[in-house]
Chain A
């Protein structure tokens, strides 16, 4: 059974057709890259998958581990194992990273009928994961993303991913705004977390990320549709030629 199965998905935002029939299947153990020009609908797809409000699903189905995703609220999807690393992480003044993660973990545990995590166990987990993404532990006491630099915010997303150990992680341009060292750290984090039982969907504009995270599939999303799928070489090709040819073919 596929982990994620999207069939003919279309969605509107404010009456505008943004997704126009997406088909995508992701199996456990796979890494998929989604590329495509600005405004093609990549973040929209990610938001629809995570259950953000404000999207009007006009057709199609999404199944996650055999369950209809549209029956689940955003928080239920997260507890079932879907995670989105935001393109633009949100600042939450007054809520510490540690508090945030502890609440998230306990909400998930409650959902699974488990007791709250032991305080010491939690501290250890946090220390371990902070090391994995090489995030300074003093960030954990700071308010979520408040005053973080662009790169720090992205690393914090990967830290949260490491803490929550999702089954399906969607990274929306997590590489944008990262310096080369941070990029390696993030990629390294993803590779360490990647297992036979989980999967990653990596949205990116740059082939350079894919030097470190080797995708099994590369998809090109254009104008609300996946117009081309290939292996990692497709990313190299796009890097060289740009999207002109793809746009022309799609517009025929």
Chain B
């Protein structure tokens, strides 16, 4: 398949999609869909010639017939089917999407709708939710970015959250995106919008899963609007099958005194591109982007971040660490723009990598564009193999090579994982890492440290 063929297929799909829309056809949202579709016609599929995709090859898009099955809704999954994807002790608020469509049956939402709105994009669109109409695609760059345009043209469902002012939602919202590929390759285009009212707080965990052996492509766009003094804990957990493909763009706009904390944890997936873009609209806001990737086989992850310091007195901190095994490859690209009037900016960025094999590879690149003079900015990137001296030290105490490696990697990982604020999720990720290292004792050892601390504190 070449570019033209893909576009022809998309054109057919778009007509089909439009014909299924009823009342929504004339809405402002659909006008934007049309614009996005027109944009696709003129946009090229990104190639390695474009700087933002230099290390990231999307030719797989041509190899599978994802596009033909756009939105094939198969919602005959049961609670048992999704049980393995749940996170222990984290089940108050669960939103499940199957092939891009909301499953009411599998979801449960604790909060009553009139107080806090947590619903599907589709339901929100059907009832013409005024805030959805007002905010849809305000941040997403559907005119210039191919995948954002694709998502926007086909946007039909996703998460819609509208939290009024002064609400603290303690229980995290777990959003599960499932691709059921048992009848063939699946592409889905989830579209999420979060509107957080003044002084409100929310915790979100996104996970991605594939059922079946055919490939799945999730092309997601998320827009997050943070009002005055809001707090958002955003966690993306990516531990999907070896033939899952993911491209996701998260676009955040921050008002005064808001804090956005993101943790992106990537354990597996054939191709993952995370675009995490945040912009400070007002002063005294803070962004913390944490990331950990631990890839094996032929897996690939690309974290592209952009922090736009458009106003003075904001802080940003990026901390990404990765372990690459087998022939896994990773890209980290951290762009920070400090605009001319953004004085008193603090912007820190770090990316640390361990390569376990000669075939694994990392391309890391800071991109600092600083136009103000009274700022503190720093960046650092390291790539290395396991510390030989430390390995020998551990082995000289009787610890096997495999176990020594596990201890070192586990500690390398925990520096990021400890930053996850949701305790249940943090434990879950620690367990996932320990499982990967095939050291079942590790997790317990950490707990033992805590027991010791407790005894210590008592005395």
Q: Do A and B come from one complex?
A: yes
Q: Which A residues, 72 to 107, have Cβ-Cβ distances below 8 Å to chain B?
A: 73-75, 78-79, 83-84, 86, 89-96, 98-100, 102-104, 106-107
Question: A94: which of B395, B412, B455 is its contact (CB, 8 Å)?
Answer: B412
Chain B residues closer than 8 Å to A164, beta-carbon distance: 397-398
Q: Which A residues, 6 to 56, have Cβ-Cβ distances below 8 Å to chain B?
A: 50-53
Among A78, A84, A103: residue with most chain B CB under 10 A: A103
Q: Is the CB of B397 within 8 A of A92?
A: no
Q: Is the CB of B393 within 8 A of A103?
A: no
Chain B residues closer than 8 Å to A98, beta-carbon distance: 445, 448-449, 452
Q: Is the CB of A86 within 8 A of B456?
A: no
Chain B residues closer than 8 Å to A143, beta-carbon distance: 411
Count of B interface residues, CB-CB < 8 Å: 30
Q: Is the CB of B397 within 8 A of A141?
A: no
Does A243 sit within 8 A of B, measured CB to CB?
no
Q: Is the CB of B395 within 8 A of A141?
A: no
A-B contact count (CB 8 A): 104
Does B389 sit within 8 A of A, measured CB to CB?
yes
Chain B residues closer than 8 Å to A122, beta-carbon distance: 448
Q: Which A residues, 120 to 145, have Cβ-Cβ distances below 8 Å to chain B?
A: 122-123, 126, 137-138, 140-141, 143-144
Q: Is the CB of A141 within 8 A of B394?
A: no
Does B403 sit within 8 A of A, measured CB to CB?
yes
Does A116 sit within 8 A of B, measured CB to CB?
yes
Chain B residues closer than 8 Å to A116, beta-carbon distance: 441
Q: Is the CB of A52 within 8 A of B445?
A: no
Does A223 sit within 8 A of B, measured CB to CB?
no
Does A111 sit within 8 A of B, measured CB to CB?
yes
Q: Is the CB of B449 within 8 A of A99?
A: yes
Q: Which B residues, 440 to 454, have Cβ-Cβ distances below 8 Å to chain A?
A: 441, 445-446, 448-449, 451-453
Q: Is the CB of A78 within 8 A of B396?
A: yes
Q: Is the CB of A89 within 8 A of B396?
A: no
Does A108 sit within 8 A of B, measured CB to CB?
yes
The residue of chain A having its C-beta at the shortest distance from the C-beta of B413 within the complex is A94
User: For the side of the interface on A, what is the size category?
Assistant: 35 or more
Chain A residues closer than 8 Å to B410, beta-carbon distance: 94-95
Q: Chain A nearest CB: distance from B85 CB in Å?
A: 29
A17–B281 Cα distance when bound, in Å, is 67
Q: Is the CB of B393 within 8 A of A86?
A: yes
Does A119 sit within 8 A of B, measured CB to CB?
yes
Q: Is the CB of B398 within 8 A of A79?
A: yes
A75–B408 Cα distance when bound, in Å, is 16
Q: Is the CB of B456 within 8 A of A92?
A: no
- Known contacts: A74-B392, A92-B390. The answer to whether A141 contacts B452 by CB under 8 A is yes
Q: Is the CB of A102 within 8 A of B395?
A: no
- Offer 9 A-B interface pairs, CB within 8 angstroms, sorted by A: A78-B397, A78-B398, A86-B396, A92-B394, A95-B410, A103-B403, A103-B445, A123-B452, A141-B449
Closest 10 CB pairs of A and B: A94-B411, A78-B398, A90-B393, A104-B397, A99-B445, A74-B395, A79-B398, A75-B395, A108-B398, A95-B411
- B contacts, CB < 8 Å to A: 389-390, 392-401, 403, 407-408, 410-412, 414-415, 441, 445-446, 448-449, 451-453, 455-456
List 18 additional contacts besides A104-B398, A164-B398; criterion CB under 8 Å: A51-B395, A53-B392, A74-B392, A89-B393, A90-B393, A92-B394, A94-B410, A94-B411, A99-B407, A99-B445, A102-B445, A103-B403, A103-B445, A104-B394, A106-B441, A107-B399, A108-B398, A126-B452
